Structures are given as structure tokens and as C-alpha cells.
A and B are shown apart, each in its own frame.
Chain A
Amino acid sequence: MPCAEGSRVQAYFDAEVDAVAAADIERHTAGCPECRALLEDLEATRTLIRREAHYGHAPPLLRERITRMLDQETASPLQRQDRPRLPAWRTRPFWFGALGGIGAAVAATTAFFLLFATVPDAFLDEVVAAHVRSLMPAHLTDVVSTDQHTVKPWFAGHADVSPVVADFTPQGYRLVGGRADYIDGRRVAVVVYQHGPHIINVFTWASRHGSARVTTRNGYHVVFWGAGNLEYCAVSDAGWQELQGLVGLLRALDARDARE
């Protein structure tokens, strides 16, 4: 007949109880052989699993397959139809809701950028790598400020271009700071925004191809657009709508500056 405290002992073993309860359970266990044996069993099964289970990485081929699939998913609506048809169970109404909402949003944003000039893939890799690098400790910003009047002049001395900079905190995009980066043989200006837990890097350089494009690389969303003689690129792990929100704000600001 197992001890009635068994469930609490398990919770204690799984570190799910507070200090007071833990002390109480320890007192009980000291006088209860049943529960001491239970603790030993719990420890033994845990050791067995953690020692012998396969903790290895997912196969590299699978990683590649998924990366390709996600890249293709946003490459263009036309290409998307070329994808091999999914088996029946994969098109069940289960995710029609999600697809209806999000898919429409993605399609709309894709349509928004009707120009599909190509960005060289190596360049795309570099931008995404720069974004990932920026997330390493102490790599994010060279100038930390939520004041656009501090960030913008800073670029004059540190980058070849002067990007549009603004703090969109009321709209949910906080200006974190700026950074100079080196991509594809030129100095680029990077303005860093934060949206919720997501960091968004907006890269700017003097325009070479001026293409507009949305895509995904290694799970990061990437948006390219041109404005005046500058080219912009926003990279983030934020959702499409969130990222497009910031892009919309920046484009509007650029358009206003151009009129003035």
C-alpha cells in the first residue's frame, strides 16, 4: 500500500514545491521508508533516462529540408504553388484558421512588394548572419539611446549613409540604439528596435540594386525595400505582421521626409 504522501514526494523530487513544503516533505520522508524508497526509484529512473537517452542533434538533412521549406514558403506566392502537394492529413481543417488569418497577411505583404528583384543569396546570408551576431552579448549596439537625435548624428561619423531613425515606442517599436556593421564590402548603418521580446535590426546602405523583397532565411524574416538612394533591410524573428508594422512606419517617415 503506497504512502498517501507519494504525490507530494514526487512534486518535491521535481522541484515543484516551495521551501516550506520541501522542509515538511523532507521531515516526513526521514521517517517513512515507503517514501524514501520512492525517492530512490525516482532518482534511479531519472538517471537511467538522462544517462542513456539519445540527446543528439536533429539530422542535418532534416534541418536543411526545413530551412529550404521555410525559405520557399515566403519566396513568392507563385513558387509556393509549385511545392509538392501535401498528403491529405496535412491539409486538414485543423490549421485552416491559422492559414486563413496569417496566410492572408503574408500574401498581402507579399503583394505589397510587387517587385521581386532578386537579392543575391550570399548577401542575404550575410545580413542574417549579422543579425544573429548582433544578438550575441554586447554586440547589439555601438550607441545606446532611445533618442533619435543622438542616434542619427552618430551615424554621420561611423557609417556611409544616414538612415531614417525614429523612436516608435507608442506604436510598440522602441528605439534601442545604433551600430555600424560591415557587410558585402561596405559599411552599413544598423538601427536597432525592440518589439516585445524581439529585436529588429534595420540595415541601411547606399542603394545598389534597390530591390524590394520579403523572404525568410533560417527562420528569420527579412524585408528589403528601397527609399530614395538608400536601401533598407529589416531582419527579425518577430512575426511577419510585427515586422511589417515597423517597415510601414519607416516607409511612411521616409516618404514624409522626401516631401519636406
Chain B
Amino acid sequence: MPHLDAAHRFARWLSRSPGEADDIVQEAFLRAFRGFDALRGSDAKGWLLAIVRNCHASAFRQEQRRAQVPLPDSDDVQLECATSDAAADPQSVSIERDDQRCLERLIAGLSEEHREVLLLREMEEMSYREIAAVTQLPIGTVMSRLARARVALKLQWLQESAGEPHAVR
């Protein structure tokens, strides 16, 4: 199945929940399949990721309606790394796994609009033009969001590592 892994990664970064990501990806593939003929050009991956993004947005809106509580989507940095649950059982988890979870917390602290451009650029290695196509944004906005996302990630990372003497930078 083409681009399933990329679609799943994207859905996970957007939703921050593996279970929800599965539902989003499944729905996206159904939509993609039904609209297969609408695919013009050869960028099937970008097209599919755009559908994943739409599915996430629908699910998110639905969730909001149900909860009647707006979820935070500001740029506020939330400093959660290296706190309670990382310190809870330091022995049992491997360092690598710990780093991964830490990155996930750092990423989770970013706003959704920052998360998505960062993932598309750094993990999917898409060009600005491709990111613009997925997110339906002008390229200039992609660039400025990407810059802000990188700064926000770095800030979080710095604050997190301030608590650890041997941490990077």
C-alpha cells in the first residue's frame, strides 16, 4: 500500500494519539480510494497527506464539539519534558526510547500548525512547494511557520535540557 507509513506518521504527529491516528488513516485511505480519479499529476504522497490532514481536521472538530471545551492551539510552549513520568522509572526504559518519548513531548508542545510543517519538512523531506500543496498555504507562510516551529522546538529543547547537566546545547 503506497505511502501508508508516511500517512500514519503524519496522522500520529497531528493527533498525538496512536489509536486516533489509525482511524484517521483508515478514513483517509477510503476517501483517497473513492476520489482516486481526482488525483492529477504524480505527487500521490502529497495528495494523500493532504487528505490525512483533512480527516484529522474533521475528527478534531468532531472531538471539540463533543467535548465542548476548546483545545489549546496557541503557540504557548508547554514544558513537560524531563518531568514526572520520565523520572518515574529511569532504570526500566532504555535511553533511546526515553529520547524518543522526550522528542514526542517536545513535539506535542508545539502548536499543530508548527508540528505539521516541521514533520513534512524534516521527516518526509518535502520541498516548500510540496508542503504548501499539502497544507494549502502560500509558500511564504510555509517558510515563516517552519522558521517559528524550529525556534519553538529549540526553545523547548533548551529549557528541557537546562534540567540535565550533560544535555546537548
A binding-site residues for B, Cβ under 8 Å: 6-7, 10-11, 14, 16, 41-42, 44-46, 48-59, 62-63, 65-67, 69-70, 73, 87-90, 92, 94-95, 98-99, 101-103, 105-106, 197, 216, 218-219, 237, 239-242
Contact = CB atoms under 8 A, between A and B. Distances in A.
A89 B5 contact: no
B161 to A, nearest CB: 11
Contacts of B100: 52-54
A47 to B, nearest CB: 9
A241 B100 CA distance: 44
B25 A62 contact: yes
B2 interface: yes
A90 B54 CA distance: 11
Given A14-B128, A103-B34, 15 more contacts: A7-B147, A10-B143, A11-B143, A14-B146, A16-B127, A49-B122, A49-B153, A53-B100, A58-B7, A66-B1, A88-B62, A89-B59, A102-B37, A105-B37, A218-B1
Nearest to A238: B36
10 contacts: A11-B128, A11-B143, A16-B128, A41-B150, A45-B157, A48-B168, A53-B100, A59-B22, A66-B25, A103-B34
Contacts of A42: 150
Contacts of B118: 49
Contacts of B99: 51-52
A39 to B, nearest CB: 11
Contact of B58 (A53, A92, A216): A92
B67 interface: no
Interface string B133-169: 0000000000110110011011001000000000011
B77 interface: no
A43 to B, nearest CB: 11
Given A53-B103, A239-B39, A66 B29 contact: yes
Given A10-B143, A50-B122, A98 B31 contact: yes
Interface of B: 1-2, 4-5, 7-9, 12, 18, 22, 25-27, 29-31, 33-39, 42, 54, 58-59, 61-62, 96, 99-100, 102-104, 118, 121-123, 127-128, 143-144, 146-147, 150-151, 153-154, 157, 168-169
A249 to B, nearest CB: 18
Given A52-B102, A89-B58, A73 B22 contact: no
Given A41-B150, A67-B1, A219-B2, A48 B34 contact: no
Contacts of B122: 45-46, 49-50, 53
Contact of A197 (B42, B62, B123, B127): B42
Contacts of A101: 37
A98 B62 contact: no
Contact of A99 (B27, B29, B34): B34
Nearest to A74: B33
A53 B153 CA distance: 13
Contacts of A239: 36-37, 39
Nearest to A62: B22
Contacts of A218: 1
